Amino acid sequence: MALISCPECGGMVSDQAAACPHCGFILSKAETVEDSIQKTALDGEQNKPEKAKPSKGKIGCGVVLGIFLAFIILIIIAATSGSSGNSESSREIKAFAYATYYITDNYYSDVKLSRKDATISLSGDKYTITGKFSKDGVIHRYSIVLRLNDDSASIISCNVT
């Protein structure tokens, strides 16, 4: 026989008693405080909501969206990277290449022309390339006027001093 406390008045009562001798609370149908605590704890465990797990569909959508946004950003960067005001056109680069070839082929085969020492201007369909280079300690100046074709250039005039 064990003593329990009455859930109504808290007095000590035999676990075999049908009612509390202090307050008359009927114990046979009542639960002890310890029983109700244990039951509450068990109910709490069983009634806990399950943690929400992210659905696989939402994760997949997030990955696809992230890849799509990265792709759009790369397209924007690629589209704007060549649009600065001082970038050379491919035709200007081609004109300088032909001028370099012409000078090294017809005047000085062992010189290197630098683009930073040259100026390129366009008048109509004619490019004028002027610049300077050093050969054996002597500064030489050049001026070439040429017309670009699809796969070649026509030299109109060339002056190297």
20 class by beta-carbon count within 10 Å (0-12 exposed, 13-18 middle, 19+ buried): buried
Contact 3, 15 (CB under 8 A): yes
Whether 70 is in a domain gets the answer no
> For position 107, what pLDDT does the model report?
87
Whether 112 is in a domain gets the answer yes
The CATH number of the domain holding residue 128 is: 3.10.450.630
Whether 30 is in a domain gets the answer yes
Secondary structure (3-state) at 157: strand
Same domain, 42 and 100: no
> Which tokens hold the place of 12?
């000590």
The span from the CA of 120 to the CA of 160, in Å, is: 16
> For position 53, what pLDDT does the model report?
59
Whether 125 is in a domain gets the answer yes
Residue 147 corresponds to which amino acid?
R
Return per-residue pLDDT of the chain as tens, 161 residues: 688 888 889 888 888 888 888 888 887 654 555 555 565 555 555 555 555 555 555 677 778 888 888 888 888 887 766 545 555 688 888 999 999 999 989 888 888 888 888 999 999 889 999 999 988 889 999 999 999 988 889 999 999 98
Range of the domain at 97: 90-160
Pick from 15, 30, 46: which residue ends a domain?
Answer: 46
Residue 108 corresponds to which amino acid?
Y
Whether 28 is in a domain gets the answer yes
Separation in Å, CA 33 to CA 2, 12, 23: 14, 12, 16
Residue 21 corresponds to which amino acid?
P
> For position 88, what pLDDT does the model report?
66
> For position 30, what pLDDT does the model report?
45
Q: Which residue has the tokens 């004619």?
A: 126
Same domain, 96 and 149: yes
Tally of domains within the chain: 2
pTM of the model: 0.45
Whether 11 is in a domain gets the answer yes
Whether 130 is in a domain gets the answer yes
Return the closest-CA partner of residue 129 out of 113, 142, 116, 112: 142
Whether 51 is in a domain gets the answer no
The span from the CA of 89 to the CA of 95, in Å, is: 10
